[in-house]
Structures are given as C-alpha cells and as structure tokens.
Amino acid sequence: MTLKSALLASAIALTPMAAMAELTIGFSQIGSESGWRAAETTVTKQESERRGINLKFADAQQKQENQIKALRTFIAQGVDAILIAPVVATGWDEVLEEAKDSDIPVILLDRTVDAPDELYLTAVTSDLVHEGKVAGEWLATEMAGDDCRIVELQGTTGSSPAIDRKNGFEQGIAGHDNLEIVRSQTGDFTRSLGKTVMESFLKAEGGENICALYAHNDDMAVGAIQAIKEAGLAPGVDIKIVAIDAVPDAHLAIANGEMNATIELTPNMAGPALDALEAYLANGAVPPKWIQTESKLFTTADDNAAIYEVKKGLGY
C-alpha cells in the first residue's frame, strides 16, 4: 500500500461513509452501442449516486483513443479511482502504467485487457467463454442431431467478449458434426450492423440454407430478426436464434416466437466494483483479480413476457 492509499484508508477508516461520499471516480464508458451498454451506464450512475460518489463520466463513442484520452484526463485531475469498460483487449499497458504510477486504482468492467494484472485492481465480468459455450450447447440440444448450418454475428473485433464468446460457442458445438458455422462476421454489437451483415449472409447462403444464427449480443440478433423477416422468413422458426445479454427486447422476441434463447449478462457491474473499491480504500482489502458475475440461460420455457415487463423499466 502506498502512502496516498494509506492516508486515504486512514481517513476513510475514521469516517467511512463521509469519506466514501467525498470519492471522485472517473468512468470511461465505451459508448452506447447496445441496450445492455445503456443499462450498464444507468446502473453505474445509480450505484455511484447511492454511495454519494462524484462520478466523472466519459463516453468514448466506441473509440479506444478516446478512452485513453479520458484516462489521462482523470489521472491529471487526481481522481481517487477509475472504472473502465475497455473497448478492445490490447493497447492499454502504457496508460494503465500511468494510472499505477499516480496511485490510482483501476477497475475493469464487463471486458478484460491483455495487460499484466498488476496494472488493474480487479475485473468485474461474466465468464465470456462460458456464455458462448452455453449458447453452443443449447443449439446442439435443440437440433438433436439434425444438420444445422450456422451463421455467426461476432461482437466488436478485438474485444474480449468477441474473442471469448466465439471460442466458447465452438467448444459448445465441438463433437457435434451435424453443426457447422458457415459464415462468421462482426456486427460490432449494434442492431444496424447486425441487420446489414445478416442481409449479406441471407444473400450469400440463401435463407433456406441457414438453420441458425448465433449472435454475440441481443442487439445484433434483433437487427438480424428484421433482416430475416424482410427476406420472407420466420425468425425463431425457419432460422433458430440464440444470443447473449437477455435485454428486454430479447425477452420480447422470444415471447413473440421470433427468437429462441438468450444468456443473461447483468448490467450491474458497478455494484461489485464499488464494493471492492470501498473495501480496498477503507482497509486495504485487495480483491481477487476477477469478480465473476453470473450467466443464466433463458429459453421459450421461461415467462419472457413477464420478464420483459419487469426489465423494460430498468434503464435499458
């Protein structure tokens, strides 16, 4: 523990709630590319307000250079800690070193980085590989040995969810020779590009030759559903659809028979992150390098209409 964090810890130890109320935290958010991302931003602001934290929010518009600029600004401002959802996995070592040199703890939210783990306090993420594997295993069970030509909409190129969810899905379908990924391309986690890329898949393969879509997030799946309908096909029936996030519109699509399964990703990464930060700053409690959030599969067997009604008011 450095002198600065020791002094801060002793100050917080004396007046824990008041000291937390004086915390200033910089949050470098990727952008608002998906409904899930918007919900994460909402929840992070709510969790900070609840704790009396002064949150400095920076939206990077999906550009790494904007996130690096934001981190340097936070460091210059001498914030007490930094939260970052890193848009891609590489290119962070230098700026994370600068934060470390300034004694500013950094916590990663929902994505990881290819950097030495001493450069960040902890990462609050789901098991991204497991999510992909659950999706693959669900499709294998659903197809029950029938042949299935699969198209895949990948997340943002170079991001840890795109890398890990692709690897996990391939693990999930491994050993099932009846399942084959015939097209795989990034839709950048957005509805619009998900629709455009699905249109290209339908044109290239012929809709009748596509059995299933695996999308790395629900927003790309929702865009693809529009493309499938415009091609005169029934999403969820002619083409099975499995994705990840469990945003309200995915539950609505499943309830309407237009999608088949989604794996839930909680938008509340900030709660566990701020709890860990509070313990670290108050008494030097070092958290594990990975705080894992749970992943839950939802299918047509669940009451998706009711779940939609509950979730639609939660900041998505």
Residues near ligand GYE (CB under 6 A):
33-34, 36-37, 110-111, 161, 189, 217, 219, 244-245, 265
Whichever of 51 and 165 has its CB closer to ligand GYE, that residue is 165
Give the ranges where 51-190 is alpha helix by DSSP (H). 64-77, 93-101, 128-143, 160-173
| Residue whose tokens read 């009604």 | 309
CB atoms closer than 10 angstroms to residue 50: 11
Smallest separation, CB 153 to ligand GYE (Å): 12
Whichever of 19 and 269 has its CB closer to ligand GYE, that residue is 269
Smallest separation, CB 176 to ligand GYE (Å): 25
Whichever of 47 and 264 has its CB closer to ligand GYE, that residue is 264
- 29 close to 67: Cβ distance less than 8 angstroms: no
- 192 close to 223: Cβ distance less than 8 angstroms: yes
Whichever of 33 and 137 has its CB closer to ligand GYE, that residue is 33
- 112 close to 174: Cβ distance less than 8 angstroms: no
- 243 close to 221: Cβ distance less than 8 angstroms: yes
Smallest separation, CB 31 to ligand GYE (Å): 8
Smallest separation, CB 144 to ligand GYE (Å): 28
Distance (Å, whole) CA 255 – CA 230: 20
Tokens of 44: 């992070």
Whichever of 244 and 255 has its CB closer to ligand GYE, that residue is 244
CB atoms closer than 10 angstroms to residue 121: 21
Smallest separation, CB 37 to ligand GYE (Å): 5
Whichever of 33 and 278 has its CB closer to ligand GYE, that residue is 33
Smallest separation, CB 285 to ligand GYE (Å): 26
